[in-house]
Structure 1
Amino acid sequence: MTLEENAASPPRPMQPITHDNLLINFTTEFHRVWSINSAKAKPGTFWRPTPAPDALPGYFPLGDLFIPGSFNINGDMVSAVVCEKDLKGAKNSKGNALAKPADFELVWNESPSPSVTRTSIWRPIPPAGYVALGLVCASDHRKPSPNTVRCVRADLVVEATVGDLLWNDKGTGAKLSFSAWTIQPPTAEPGEICFAPGTFVGVETYSKPTAPGTAYALRMQIPMQITAAPQAPMLAGYAHPPSSEAVKVTQVARLPWFAVRDHADPAEQFFSSPYYELKRTDEYVLIGHDHNTSDNTRAAKWITHRTQNPIGLRVFSGLTSIEIDKAWPSVALSDRRVTKLSARLPEHFTHSENSASGWMESRPQAVIAMVAKQTAVAVYQMESHYKLIREDGTQVAVEFRYTDDSSFHLTQFPPEQIEIANACRQLTMSTPPGSEDSGGAVDIIAPSALELPTATDSAP
């Protein structure tokens, strides 16, 4: 999945999300279809996303929205809309991303009561290979036009579950029963975002629907920009090297606006920063240096402190809703967001391919190296810094760090004498002899019996 640079939503352009030949964008323009005006029924309004043709040409809604109350949501709410990607004459082997409904099935209509405006709710019947992501409300009893909504090819969506009750027709005087429910996307896999466009599912009863295949959500991969890691440092002499090497942005996760809490109304956030960048910067930091001027091999030991801070990480997650080692959000981002989601960062981005417990580990480590005679040794460790940036370049929340315990690097001068007898063993809970610090111990041993080129030792 990539980002397509060809659509705009005023007053600020937004690159649409591209999933195969499906384009997904957002609108703040809606048409009021029907408002509940019965004194005994729960108040609310059914709205249809209607993006201006000059702003989002070719975009369609996936279904209508239900918003409690009767206030005008134009310019305040944001809803997803979809478009077929222009393949420039080529054809997708899987077929079009979107299709018109083959027909509509009546789900509910009100009785001819004086207190109720004539209305009806319909379920789009998708053609084979496609699914409908929402229902359609009509201000009369006539079947909607096939151009009202679009259905989505089944491989472009993910099966979702039915969420909370939105509305039911109790008190309207209607003869038929009806209830509308939110769509809850599934827990995202690493590197993905699953999100519901704000549409709803409905049934002809007041009971929550449980049958599979009734609710679907859109999905996307989190766009990543990945560059090579910084080059491992090399000792060029016996002198003490700099404490850190060049800093380099190595990975950037691009997050859409609805996946980030930024303490603003949905439309304000959408217009001000359609995307956010979570940048990871890597650098090699010097753990220790030793110059052995004697004629005997000796041990050198250093204590390295981890840079990850569980408290700081909780502050970042609390302000942005973004979780580093699991899916988010743990709670709804706001009551005014119609887009429900589940997102999870790629594991290679968060250093959690094997285990996420490293983010909570704050104990120091002891690093031990055997330094050959007349030799200088330096041991480095990789550090990653994370910062969340809006489109205008301003920072959100706080920066946080991670010490990558699997990226220890040993360099020696003269380089032709570097010798490794034993790779770093599994980190342990024991304290090295003579150290009062608790934590793991990493052995980097260079006896004089072997002659090997520069090596990078790692501890899992």
Structure 2
Amino acid sequence: MKPLQFNDLLISFTSEFLPLWNDKGSNAHKAVGFWRPSTTSDVLSPFYALGDIAVGHYRNINQGRIVAVVSDANKVDGTALRPPVDYHLVWHDEGTGAHANFSIWRPLAPQGYVTMGLVCGVGYDKPSRHAVRCVREDLVVTARVGELIWNDKGSGCANDLSIWSVTPPDAPAGEAYLAPGTFLGHDTYAKPGIETYSLRLALTAQLSDLPPPPALSGYESPPADESSATLQVCELPWFCVKDPELSAVEQLQSSPTYRLERTDRHRLGGFGHNTGATPQPFMWTAAKGELGGNARALAFNTSVDLSKEWSAHPQAFELNFSAQLDRDFTHTQRSAKGWSHSSPLEIITYVPPRKAVAAYLLHSEYCLLRQDGSQVSTTVSYTNGDHVYMSESPDIEPLPDEAIPTVETPQAQPDLEVTGHDLIDDTLTP
């Protein structure tokens, strides 16, 4: 598989382990087995373990458990990883009666680096400095002490020991936090306040420009879905997806990444045609939010939640993690309220005289795909009500012929007629 990358840190995974020790013969109340992640395969030859693994049973964990291993993206001059400068003894089993001698050590990290887990010694010998790597502190996030894995109660050892898992904090939008799968330990049975860490990954989507709303070319109502579509993509690491058809090992082998695709189109929310000579108000009611209730089905089937942070559930995931999608990708940059249900949206606008106007809303469909292109769960539909896109007819509509008033041509006035008159004969007559 192609490694995941966060800045200059490469993260891969192994399901192969070397047995180190178990407490058989110690009479401890609980069982425990310790294993070392193997990176001897050709694919993982430049990778290192972050610490050893502790499980609360004696069974073989090969091909049944998966943990992260790390490498530096800059092979020669990289600074993402450093070997520990030394080790500090945490516990040894002297007095337990176990079948073999055993010790646990804490790596001491160089300045600017952190330790991700404890390391087992061969007998009572200090481990090799090359057994694990410490990680640069900007590549990790502070985590929490998780559940108890084992303690040595009943073993007869003079030194108390309890060992614990690591739980990542809640991830913010656009990130995933992955617990290293290693263990913590200290010399009391109470839950410790040990500083611990998780790995970081970015879930930032590859966002394209939104499609432009359709342009009105005339005065007739346009089709409901005539706009072009654009594709937005967010890649999810396999451990964030609860695939109902694959085991964790099968996911790692066949679909180490999943594609969450968002297809955007503009959907008609209302159309108005003002045939009058003055501006007129138009009002339409459209639906916004998640349509069909499929987001809940997606979260139930795969645990991928489009509206909030999600994390590992017991018995569902191999690795302990938390994740949250980028809010620009999920339309929740302002509020996730619209995801839970569909609600009406009223659109009011004034349409100029002899103009047509269409109102559009951005409609998105989400599909979760395996690496081979097959779809997981169902398609989720969401209409974003944060913005309304208006499209106006380009020209003022000409008035129809019957609406044009007929102007009568005035009749021509007759010429002024001068009436003749008799001449006065003022000639004196005799």
Q: TM-score, normalised by structure 2?
A: 0.87
CA distance 1:352–1:76, shift in 2 (3 Å): same
By how many angstroms is 1:188 displaced?
0.9
Q: Distance in 1 between matches of 2:328 and 2:238?
A: 22
User: Could you list the per-position Cα deviations for residues 128-148 of structure 1 after superposition, in whole angstroms to 9, with x for gaps in the alignment?
Assistant: 111110001234110001111
CA distance 1:43–1:265, shift in 2 (3 Å): farther
Whether contact under 8 Å (2:289, 2:338) holds in the other structure is no
Is 2:50 the partner of 1:62? Answer: yes
Whether contact under 8 Å (2:140, 2:199) holds in the other structure is yes
Which residue does the alignment assign to 2:225? 244
1:221-370 equivalences under 5 Å are: 221-263=202-244, 264-309=246-291, 311-329=293-311, 332=313, 334=315, 337=318, 339-370=319-350
1:106-117 equivalences under 5 Å are: 106-117=89-100
The count of aligned residue pairs is 395
CA distance 1:249–1:76, shift in 2 (3 Å): farther
By how many angstroms is 1:72 displaced?
1.5
Q: Distance in 1 between matches of 2:276 and 2:317?
A: 70
Query: Which of 10, 13, 23 does residue 36 from structure 1 map onto?
Result: 23
CA distance 1:416–1:67, shift in 2 (3 Å): farther
Unaligned ranges ≥5, structure 1: 1-13, 418-460
Which residue does the alignment assign to 2:60? 72
The range that moved more, 374-383 or 108-117, is: 108-117
Q: Distance in 2 between matches of 1:69 and 1:40?
A: 12
Whether contact under 8 Å (1:16, 1:24) holds in the other structure is yes
Q: Distance in 1 between matches of 2:229 and 2:63?
A: 40
By how many angstroms is 1:199 displaced?
0.5
Is 2:11 the partner of 1:24? Answer: yes
Is 2:71 the partner of 1:83? Answer: yes
User: Could you list the per-position Cα deviations for residues 416-450 of structure 1 after superposition, in whole angstroms to 9, with x for gaps in the alignment?
Assistant: 79xxxxxxxxxxxxxxxxxxxxxxxxxxxxxxxxx
Secondary structure at the aligned position of 1:121 is classed as strand
Query: Which of 30, 35, 52 does residue 47 from structure 1 map onto?
Result: 35
By how many angstroms is 1:309 displaced?
4.2
User: Could you list the per-position Cα deviations for residues 102-160 of structure 1 after superposition, in whole angstroms to 9, with x for gaps in the alignment?
Assistant: 11111111124544421111111111111110001234110001111011111111111
Which residue does the alignment assign to 1:426? none
By how many angstroms is 1:48 displaced?
0.8
The range that moved more, 260-269 or 180-189, is: 260-269
Amino acid paired to 2:33: T
Amino acid paired to 2:365: H
Which residue does the alignment assign to 2:425? none
By how many angstroms is 1:363 displaced?
2.0
By how many angstroms is 1:388 displaced?
0.9
Whether contact under 8 Å (2:268, 2:361) holds in the other structure is yes
Which residue does the alignment assign to 1:135? 118
Q: TM-score, normalised by structure 1?
A: 0.81
Give 1 or 2 for the bigger CA radius of gyration. Answer: 2
Q: Distance in 2 between matches of 1:289 and 1:105?
A: 74
Whether contact under 8 Å (1:61, 1:82) holds in the other structure is yes
Which residue does the alignment assign to 1:406? 386
User: Could you list the per-position Cα deviations for residues 151-193 of structure 1 after superposition, in whole angstroms to 9, with x for gaps in the alignment?
Assistant: 1111111111111101111222222111111111111111011
Q: Distance in 2 between matches of 1:43 and 1:247?
A: 61
The range that moved more, 289-298 or 237-246, is: 289-298
Which residue does the alignment assign to 1:171? 154
User: Could you list the per-position Cα deviations for residues 396-424 of structure 1 after superposition, in whole angstroms to 9, with x for gaps in the alignment?
Assistant: 1121122111221111213579xxxxxxx
Secondary structure at the aligned position of 1:269 is classed as helix
Which residue does the alignment assign to 1:15? 2
Q: Indicate the percent of aligned positions where both proteins have the same amino acid.
A: 39
Whether contact under 8 Å (1:110, 1:119) holds in the other structure is yes
Q: Distance in 2 between matches of 1:132 and 1:71?
A: 27
Secondary structure at the aligned position of 2:310 is classed as coil
Unaligned ranges ≥5, structure 2: 398-430
Q: After the TM superposition, which segments of 4 or more aligned residues of structure 1 sit over 6 Å from their partners?
A: none
